Chains A and B, each alone.
Chain A
Amino acid sequence: MSKLVHFDEVRKNNIRTFFLFLIFFSLVLLLGAFLGLYMGSLAFGMIFTFFIGFIYALIAYSSGRNMLLRLTGAKKVTKREYPHLFHSLEGLSLAAGIPTPEGYVIESKSMNAFATGKGPEEGVVVVTTGLLDKLNREELEGVVAHEIAHIKNYDIRTMLLAAILVGILASLSHMLIRIAIFNPRGGRDGRATLFFLIGGIVLAILTPFIGEAIKMTLSRKREYAADATAAVLTRNPGGLANALRKLSGDTNPLEVADAGNSHLFISRPKRKKKWLEKLFSTHPPTEERIRRLESM
């Protein structure tokens, strides 16, 4: 009997979530310290940004799933419209022992899929119309099983948090740069302004690096784990392997993918990338994933 990979994954995700928060709040406090130094009160700056970061994170976490679905233009669909998708969703969620996730579809020629939600109770599986059109039943089952594995392992929560926290960090550092450039106190103390501006710029350059690094550490192993769980659920690793092969050969760009959400998708969305993203790839190479699946 096969090893049940997914049971440790939940615990690992809880630890990852903890570290995610730890890194996030240290960075927020660091940004706050800079703001505080500039404003003349270290404690005030730190408390201020901590408070903003906390509230922001809370709101984003509770509405993150729906925000993400809206941003990607995903539409909720019914069993009547997409019976094949729902057969896979119902069957594989039974096999995984989680409630049946809701099905969403993105209108795009590109082939891709992702899952999101705070946990299995409100899990969502999103697929593109291109994926539904071009995959056969076994391949679609493989992809759906991969996404269901993400839901069952609580990867979706960690990924959602990563997307949110990195987004918040980016907007906080933008905000600080703006304060520095358009600041009302600029004329009074030239040296402080200069210090702050340099600090702000350094942080603004560093934050996306750190953000990408966070996403990267979260992503790679998890993709292999989800592939393995998918193989256990479908008892058919070949289906997912073939699907991945088709996905990696797909040249259609996914219009709704961006730096903030690309780590969620099963296959790295094709689009113009910034140099920074090329440096930090969140997904393991597809060839390696296929190789592992086929050796199972």
Chain B
Amino acid sequence: MDWLLWGIIAFVVIFIIWLYNSFIRLKNQVENAWAQIDVQLKRRNDLIPNLIETVKGYVKHERETLAEVTKARTSVMNAKSPAKKAEASGELTNTLKSLFAVAENYPDLKANQNFLQLQEELSGTENKLAYSRQHYNDMVMRFNTKIQSFPANLFASLFNFGKKQMFEVAESEKKNVKVKF
């Protein structure tokens, strides 16, 4: 019965190779999706100094709001893990919202072409951030489902593939309905 034993061994080896490769493929997809989020986060962070510079001249009594935006921006830059980044990013979104709400009280600022363009670009970037977050979370879900399901979970820990973190935002920021099938 030697051939049977060898057959089983060959089958197991091939299965493990296939499993390993699918872990790698999914992991790379997650990393690629993360890079897409990072692009949008960087883009937004790059726009903010310009925005502060433009707004500063118009709003005299809103030092605090501006300082909060700058602070949130720095914490997005410094955050390392997806969860921390998500939290900081949500905070930045909120401070930007309050900055734009404050701007409503300054007609001169609202007429400033530069300001309008920055506002447009920032809201575009926020949208793209939301979409890339969605893609990232989809990919993380696939990866996590893969490494948690049997028998893949036995090998996932062996090869050191751990659960990935979602990029989650505070409940208040979610507005769209969930889709169920």
B contact residues, total (Cβ < 8 Å)? 22
Q: Are B181 and A95 in contact (CB under 8 A)?
A: no
Q: Which residues of A contact B179 (CB under 8 A)?
A: 2, 231-232, 235-237, 296
B11 within 8 A of A: no
Q: Are B178 and A235 in contact (CB under 8 A)?
A: yes
Q: Which residues of B contact A2 (CB under 8 A)?
A: 178-181
Min CB gap B138→A, angstroms: 6
Q: Which residues of B contact A237 (CB under 8 A)?
A: 179
A276 within 8 A of B: no
Min CB gap B89→A, angstroms: 15
The secondary structure that dominates the B interface is: helix
* Contacts A1-B141, A228-B181; A96 near B128 (Cβ below 8 A): no
Min CB gap B28→A, angstroms: 12
Min CB gap A223→B, angstroms: 16
A87 within 8 A of B: yes
Taking a contact as CB atoms closer than 8 A, the residue among B127, B139, B176, B178 that contacts A91 in the complex is B127
A121 within 8 A of B: no
A237 CA / B180 CA spacing, docked (Å): 10
A238 CA / B95 CA spacing, docked (Å): 31
B134 within 8 A of A: yes
Identify which of residues 85-135 in chain B touch chain A, using a CB-to-CB cut-off of 8 Å.
124, 127-128, 130-132, 134-135
Q: Which residues of A contact B36 (CB under 8 A)?
A: 94, 97
A2 CA / B127 CA spacing, docked (Å): 21
Q: Are A87 and B176 in contact (CB under 8 A)?
A: no
Residue picked from A94, A235, A236, most chain B C-beta under 10 Å: A94
A279 within 8 A of B: no
A235 CA / B130 CA spacing, docked (Å): 11
- How would residues 139 to 171 of chain B score, 1 for a CB under 8 Å from any chain A CB and 0 otherwise? 101100000000000000000000000000000
A-B contact pairs, 14 of them (CB 8 A): A2-B179, A3-B181, A4-B141, A87-B127, A91-B131, A94-B135, A95-B132, A97-B36, A97-B139, A231-B179, A233-B134, A296-B179, A296-B180, A296-B181
- Interface of B toward A, CB cutoff 8 Å: 29, 32-33, 36, 124, 127-128, 130-132, 134-135, 138-139, 141-142, 176-181
A sample of 15 more A-B contacts (CB under 8 A), given A97-B135, A97-B139, A296-B179, is A1-B141, A2-B180, A87-B124, A87-B127, A94-B131, A95-B134, A97-B29, A97-B33, A233-B134, A235-B177, A236-B176, A236-B177, A237-B179, A296-B180, A296-B181
